[in-house]
Structure 1
């Protein structure tokens, strides 16, 4: 979850396409919506649009799942019709659209749902005049769109869902979808060295890690008004049951409240209602999602930046964007020994097991490091570099025969 570059500006080192009138269309099947919480796909797509005046993008958000929302106690949402993105969304005018389909029933009750959504996505693309776009698949369910259209495609793997805990039938479904994508896509991109090792055994893959808008995170920001008055440790990111160690968060929140401090959680809350209630009862301040441009303020004024993640094969496959955001800010970091964070030097990241995490956070808070970046901020990659790398991947895909 990170701050977008200012709409309409170009990042350092970018090279604008000459605008030769050759239209380039791109359909992105994303695991995340295009909203105020910016993630990898938005940073890359917005950068590509800024650099290439002949690029048009249809950004397909994950489908709304009413029954899933009801099961976890979340408000029921509606799918969103095709909508035009613009400068207020961080995209140029008249060259980007977002579409969010609806999943009405579970697959066991409506086994043809994926294919119906694939037909709808192809129809929406045709409405926009996208006859032969490149397909960028981030969601493995996008295999249905690839089968339906035959568009030239790339598969951008940011999570190893085959290592997530799922029911056997769901695991097999994801495995079959990923096999289609790995076999048929012209390019496979991965975001972490672990994914490069596991997905690169049978075919070439391109490693394209995450990054950060360094300037946004190092420019001093005001202290957000919704923070508690006490000292606080903060976690910024989606509260997702596959990543967040809820028990460790409860322990940290309990210990911090007893010591006169608070644990603050900033990000979309995808936990079930019972887990959210436990966190709040323990003293955690669950703020929910905040606009990406405001996120640096939550980090810059924190006594500690925490990463209470589960340590398992799934999280080992990740390249957390928060790693780059935390390092760019330069505040003390305390993390469970997860990929990316455990490889940092001790002066930048304190690692501790889940049972010891609360003690480690309290020790860091007791040091009372004054707000502001450290004396030697870490060198971290910028999204502008990753945009250029993805542009090279897309160029290779476009020159691949259908």
Structure 2
């Protein structure tokens, strides 16, 4: 039996990202695999300072709907800010090691997506895979946080037997530091092409729809505002996904007529994509977004709808006649031109699109190398 500890940047919830898709596929393919999924730590002090109800993590819990007895999750707690508690990261690492021990995991493989827990690789000595999905060194963050991230990444480059990246740009940036393996994102193609009923909360009339986390690191709120105003009574700009915008930007979008629906379960999102007149990617274009391999590129292509995107990585290089790349004011104009009515799920959504099952097979090969002690190491 193989044991695997996955340190994720996201919680295991109804909104699936790369880690959940890959882990679920790996469990389906290997009945001898057990996984401990480590969610980002709860931070009750930060919650209180942000005027949110404090979260206190959760103990070890089973996720039987995916793989009964073989998939568990834990969410440790960071009780104090790092500036007041220099040992916070070591305490988090120890909490993960105790959770693994309770499951009988003696020497598991370690898959780290969150560089904040680099100390776990140091303390545990477990064979480590570092999976890079975002270049946090290029994100707009305070200097202290950026320095901490750089130190953690340097630690992981030194200790990891394997390093995986999700985008060609990440391969270019990180490949100079050591050997990396490129494993891009994908989609569950068959699921996204199964016709679904129109979601009841989609507004009547033509819809331009964005699927993804509504976060200032990615979403260009000004482009969204201009697009909603340009659509006017001809259609509605709809954003589907977790909303992490500040209050002022949120008010501006709502005044412009943008409809924010919030997160939807992974089983439901295909219906929103299928019944949109045009799918949009109003992303900021900067060094951070250039490091990404947007999962929505694969989700959008799977349903065969017209797409309008700012010139971001993935979309600007896609050889797909359904994708229009436009910047500035041209973005809103392109969206307005792409909202015919009535909406109809296209019967010809059959272009080849990478599937998560294929990506999981590639990741399984990396994990086998790691288990055998044949990691790539530094160049």
TM-score, length-scaled by structure 1: 0.89
* 1:49-128 alignment, distance < 5 Å: 49-69=27-47, 75-87=53-65, 91-128=66-103
Aligned to 2:217: 242
Deviations 1:151-187 (A, max 9, x none): 1010000001111111111111100100111111000
The alignment status of 1:223 with 2:201, answered yes or no, reads no
Distance 2:26 2:170 in 1: 24
Distance 1:81 1:246 in 2: 37
Distance 2:311 2:320 in 1: 12
The partner residue of 2:290 within 298, 316, 339 is 316
Distance 1:70 1:287 in 2: 26
The alignment status of 1:141 with 2:110, answered yes or no, reads no
Conserved 8 A contact 1:331-1:374: no
TM-score, length-scaled by structure 2: 0.95
Aligned to 1:391: 364
Distance 1:207 1:369 in 2: 40
Report the CA distance between 1:275 and its aligned residue: 2.3
Using the TM superposition, name which of 277-286 and 65-74 deviates more.
65-74
Report the CA distance between 1:264 and its aligned residue: 0.8
User: Alignment partner of 2:267: what SS?
Assistant: helix
Using the TM superposition, name which of 143-152 and 369-378 deviates more.
369-378
The alignment status of 1:379 with 2:352, answered yes or no, reads yes
Distance 2:349 2:63 in 1: 39
Aligned to 1:171: 146
Distance 1:189 1:399 in 2: 17
Corresponding pairs, count: 375
* 1:317-332 alignment, distance < 5 Å: 317-332=291-306
Report the CA distance between 1:400 and its aligned residue: 1.1
Report the CA distance between 1:312 and its aligned residue: 0.4
CA RMSD for the aligned pairs?
A: 1.7
Against the structure 1 CA distance between its residues 296 and 32, is the aligned structure 2 distance closer, same or farther, given a 3 Å change threshold?
same
User: Alignment partner of 2:67: what SS?
Assistant: coil
Against the structure 1 CA distance between its residues 207 and 105, is the aligned structure 2 distance closer, same or farther, given a 3 Å change threshold?
same
Gapped runs of 5+ residues in structure 1?
1-22
Aligned to 1:300: 274
Against the structure 1 CA distance between its residues 281 and 64, is the aligned structure 2 distance closer, same or farther, given a 3 Å change threshold?
farther
Aligned to 2:125: 150
Distance 1:280 1:180 in 2: 43
Aligned to 1:47: 25
Deviations 1:329-380 (A, max 9, x none): 0000000000000112462211111333211110111x44742236464311
Against the structure 1 CA distance between its residues 305 and 75, is the aligned structure 2 distance closer, same or farther, given a 3 Å change threshold?
farther
Deviations 1:282-337 (A, max 9, x none): 21111111001100110111111000100001100100000000000000000000
Deviations 1:169-218 (A, max 9, x none): 11111001001111110000000000111111132111000000011111
Gapped runs of 5+ residues in structure 2?
none
